[in-house]
Amino acid sequence: MLTNDLKKQIQTAYSTFLSNRSLKPRSGQKHMIAEVANTLARADGSGDQQGANICVLEAGTGTGKTIAYLLAALPVAQKQGKKVIVSTGTVALQEQLVMKDLPQLISDSGISTTYSLAKGRGRYFCVSKAEAVLESQGQLGQMALYEDEMAQRLDGDQVAWYQSLLNRFAAGQWDGDRDSLSEAVEEDEWRPMTSDHLQCTNRRCSNFSICPFFKARQELDKVDLVVANHDLVLADLSLGGGAILPEPEETVYIFDEGHHLGVKTTGHFAYSLRVRSSQRWLGSSQKQLSRLLSDCAHQLVLADCVEKLAQPYQTMEQQLELWLLMMEQLFERRDDDRDARLRFSQGIIPDELVVIAKAFAQAAEKAVARFEQIVDLLKEAMDGELADIHRDIAEQWYPQVGVFAARMQGMCWLAQAWATPDEEGSSPTARWISRVDSLDGVDFECRSSPVSAAQTLEEHLWKHCHAAVLTSATITALGRFDRVMDDLGLPAGTTCRQLPSPFNHQQAAELHIPAMNCDPADPEQHTEEVIRYLLQTLPQSKATLVLFSSWRQMLTVLERMSDSINNSVLAQGRLGKQEILTQHRERVDRQQASIIFGLASFAEGVDLPGDYLTEVIIAKLPFSVPDDPVDATMAEWIEMRGGNAFVEWSVPMASMRLTQATGRLLRTEADTGRIVLLDRRLITRRYGRQLLDALPPYRRNFA
């Protein structure tokens, strides 16, 4: 129950914040504060219904979501003695929280709180790994560690750059956080300088006392609020919870950009295995293990562990040969040899492949167990409890064995996902093969992914967390919460609310559908019409975002634009997203025309208020790509249960994406402009009425 004292504390903080910021109260913001506070109060034992401690809130742009959930959650959580984790889908929102929203809240509301930004281990510099990599580049005849990460020796410039990182860290000129580097770093350049939990020796590391990751991790135990991201939260939950972040039972989770949580969850439990690459890696890792034995003077217990890897390795090599043969045969049998992907209907793979995957998984499980034994031995050696393996040798080899264990575990997980049938009545796993070109010639990548996050989140999160809030500007589909409830496995008692928007959509924006002779059912003719429309209207555009649903259509349109239009176009693929947005703002500031051509990633998370964006043109309704393996498997599952996949899945997902796309236009209450949809299905098809009704009430202009 929300006590009168807590109510008064929150109300006073809100009034103080508004006064200090010279702001007026917003209806949606006040509703959100009340919903979050009441949900958290029920979590303290006064709510018996399952899901009473969870709420889902759709709050449009301009509501002031961040301040609302912080004002409500922090006082209640502090009273209950719980931690707050705010989890976002993007780095930009994390930075906004830490650099802007939280400092403003503390200075202007009177609320006292402490906070810290949590990042995965991969964002931090590993001193020991950097030293080992640089040493391996010297003239000492050292073995080349981290083979998967460094396919060749580093050139002089790379060595100098890595050495400069080490020197800057040692001199206290850099804190070891990748995001605090002034220069941009490519992923391939950064990866050799960082670590994961399987490579890290933790307190046994000679550099533990200065480790950037552990110094940051210690801060999390001291603060009231942790700013994280969905990937880090899911990684923590997959380790049982409390391994990286506070224990779920002691935590209030706030998932901002909550519409990303389902996709992030299924992606976190997706696995892959490349057959030829795995064959090559098995041979390479055996050579490395021989070097390990040599460096450790063939220590008896270690030698026994390595020797016991021989049988599982032999079995895996045999099964991979059969696996490769099966892949080649499956692709040879197909009618269309151009298609580089083969999806198994309903996620059911052939019996022969099940047998191969099962035998491989059993052998891989044994190999994983042996690697764990080797890891334990190296830990003992680092602790000084194994006299016949020198500590320095153990510390040098531990990260590499961690790489082996991680690679083997990943292969094992994929094989298990292929070998284990889905439980009857549960959502299926999508399983498919992609034919890819590689250093080994044509390779076959075997993949699996759950189609729904419901079971995973129910098991690892909703049953254990103290309380949870999910919020987003767009979280409903067709104006309802059914889809998100099903997709995320939320309990039946979950509170769901759509909060009033501060925008006058009718007055601020026009939704225009021009006269057209065809729709996207005829893709070639539709693309021609899109080209004609853009050639006619873009010369007059000042600040326009054009959204496409496929690379093919966008590139075709780009090729047909006039030189004068192309000079104003910033196209996805030519530049990175952030660089496009930066250049766009600079052009508009100089009173120059600027047109962005983008795909789905530009349909959300793009904030261009005022004159930076006055027109959004959407080429066609954003239905899922029909051959996406996960969506196709989900559609089959819905049909098998007697449903209609188009009505129950495709249309609701299109509704959510269309609302997100149109939402790029109005970012503040003062914004105005026009949305153009070059797809008349919105007014000619039955489902179009549903999509239209779910949109904000823009002023309509249909030709």
**For residue range 445-479, what is the model confidence (pLDDT) as tens digits?**
999 999 999 999 999 999 999 999 999 999 999 99
User: Residue range 320-345: average pLDDT?
Assistant: 86
Write the single-letter amino acid at 259: H
Does residue 104 sit in the same domain as residue 126?
Answer: no
CB of 250 within 8 A of CB of 77? no
Residue 131 scores a pLDDT above 90: no
Is residue 159 in some structural domain?
Answer: yes
Residue 31 scores a pLDDT above 90: yes
Does residue 64 sit in the same domain as residue 150?
Answer: no
- In the prediction, which pLDDT does 142 show? 39
Between CA 445 and CA 83 the distance in angstroms is 42
CB of 192 within 8 A of CB of 400? no
Which residue from 324, 283, 317 is spatially nearest to 444, judged by alpha carbons?
324
Between CA 16 and CA 8 the distance in angstroms is 12
Does residue 275 sit in the same domain as residue 304?
Answer: yes
- In the prediction, which pLDDT does 45 show? 66
- The per-residue pLDDT for range 378-436, each reduced to its tens digit, is 988 888 888 788 888 888 888 889 889 999 999 999 999 999 999 888 889 999 999 99
- In the prediction, which pLDDT does 147 show? 41
Scanning 596-649, the segments in alpha helix (DSSP H) are 629-640, 645
Q: Which residue has the tokens 């219904």?
A: 49
Does residue 593 sit in the same domain as residue 663?
Answer: yes
User: Residue range 340-361: average pLDDT?
Assistant: 95
Is residue 455 in some structural domain?
Answer: no
CB of 35 within 8 A of CB of 55? yes
Residue 674 is part of which domain span? 505-702
Does residue 136 sit in the same domain as residue 256?
Answer: no
Rg for the chain, CA atoms, rounded: 28
Between CA 437 and CA 446 the distance in angstroms is 14
Q: What is the CATH classification number for the domain harbouring 693?
A: 3.40.50.300
First vs last C-alpha separation in the chain: 54
Q: Which residue has the tokens 């052939």?
A: 350
Between CA 148 and CA 188 the distance in angstroms is 11
Which residue from 271, 207, 257, 201 is spatially nearest to 229, judged by alpha carbons?
257
Long-range contacts of 167-172 (CB under 8 A, 24+ apart): 169/125, 169/127, 169/212
CB of 141 within 8 A of CB of 45? no
Residue 690 scores a pLDDT above 90: yes
Does residue 509 sit in the same domain as residue 494?
Answer: no
CB of 657 within 8 A of CB of 548? no
Domain boundary, last residue among 458, 476, 498: 498
Residue 324 scores a pLDDT above 70: yes
Helix or strand or coil: residue 125? Answer: coil
CB of 400 within 8 A of CB of 146? yes
Reported as a pLDDT band with limits 50, 70 and 90, residue 1 is: confident
Is residue 214 in some structural domain?
Answer: no
CB of 546 within 8 A of CB of 619? yes
Output b/e per residue, 33-48; b: 16+ Cβ within 10 A. Answer: bbbbbbbbbbbbeebe
SS3 per-residue string spanning 390-426: CHHHHHHHHHHHHHHHHHHHHHHHHHHHHHCCCCCCC
Question: How many other β-carbons are positioned within 10 Å of the β-carbon of residue 50?
Answer: 13
Residue 301 scores a pLDDT above 60: yes
Residue 539 scores a pLDDT above 50: yes
What angle is formed at CA 286 by the lines to CA 284 and CA 287, rounded to 5 degrees? 65
**Least confident among 72-81, 154-163, 610-619, 667-676:** 154-163
Between CA 86 and CA 201 the distance in angstroms is 29
For 508, the token pair is 């601020």
Over the chain, what is the mean pLDDT? Answer: 90
Rounded to an integer, what is the distance from CA 466 to the centroid of its chain? 24
**Least confident among 174-188, 435-449, 496-510, 663-677:** 174-188
Q: In percent, how much of the chain has pLDDT > 90?
A: 70
Q: What are phi and psi of 626, to 5 degrees?
A: -65, -20
User: Residue range 187-211: average pLDDT?
Assistant: 83
User: Residue range 7-13: average pLDDT?
Assistant: 96
Which residue from 666, 691, 672 is spatially nearest to 680, judged by alpha carbons?
691
Scanning 87-155, the segments in alpha helix (DSSP H) are 91-96, 102-109, 127-136
Q: Which residue has the tokens 């067709």?
A: 478
Element at 344 (helix H, strand E): none
Q: Please indicate, yes or no, whether the overall pTM of this predicted structure exceeds 0.75.
A: yes
- The per-residue pLDDT for range 437-447, each reduced to its tens digit, is 887 788 999 99
Does residue 470 sit in the same domain as residue 548?
Answer: no
Residue 154 scores a pLDDT above 70: no
User: Residue range 610-639: average pLDDT?
Assistant: 92
Question: How many other β-carbons are positioned within 10 Å of the β-carbon of residue 129?
Answer: 22
Between CA 568 and CA 596 the distance in angstroms is 8
SS3 per-residue string spanning 146-165: CCCCCCCCCCHHHHHHHHHH
| Count of structural domains within the chain | 4
Does residue 254 sit in the same domain as residue 291?
Answer: no
Is residue 374 in some structural domain?
Answer: yes
Element at 361 (helix H, strand E): helix 351-382
Is residue 640 in some structural domain?
Answer: yes
Greatest CA separation found in the chain?
A: 84
Residue 16 scores a pLDDT above 90: yes
Is residue 130 in some structural domain?
Answer: yes
Is residue 70 in some structural domain?
Answer: yes
User: Residue range 323-333: average pLDDT?
Assistant: 91
What number of CA atoms fall less than 13 Å from residue 177's CA on the CB side?
11
Between CA 304 and CA 374 the distance in angstroms is 10
Does residue 439 sit in the same domain as residue 304?
Answer: yes
| 225-229 vs 251-256, strand pairing mode | unpaired
Does residue 552 sit in the same domain as residue 566?
Answer: yes
Between CA 473 and CA 589 the distance in angstroms is 28
Is residue 289 in some structural domain?
Answer: yes
List the strands of the sheet with 225-229, edge to edge.
115-117, 225-229, 83-88, 251-256, 467-472, 54-58, 495-498
Domain boundary, last residue among 207, 241, 258: 207
Domain boundary, last residue among 162, 180, 207: 207
Residue 153 scores a pLDDT above 80: no
Element at 33 (helix H, strand E): helix 27-41
- In the prediction, which pLDDT does 654 show? 95
Helix or strand or coil: residue 24? Answer: coil
Does residue 357 sit in the same domain as residue 429?
Answer: yes
SS3 per-residue string spanning 60-80: CCCCCHHHHHHHHHHHHHHHH
For 152, the token pair is 């060749």
- The per-residue pLDDT for range 84-126, each reduced to its tens digit, is 999 998 777 888 899 999 999 999 999 999 999 998 888 899 9
Does residue 182 sit in the same domain as residue 250?
Answer: no
Residue 676 scores a pLDDT above 90: yes
User: Residue range 369-379: average pLDDT?
Assistant: 92
Question: How many other β-carbons are positioned within 10 Å of the β-carbon of residue 209?
Answer: 9
Question: How many other β-carbons are positioned within 10 Å of the β-carbon of residue 406?
Answer: 17
For 428, the token pair is 């299926």
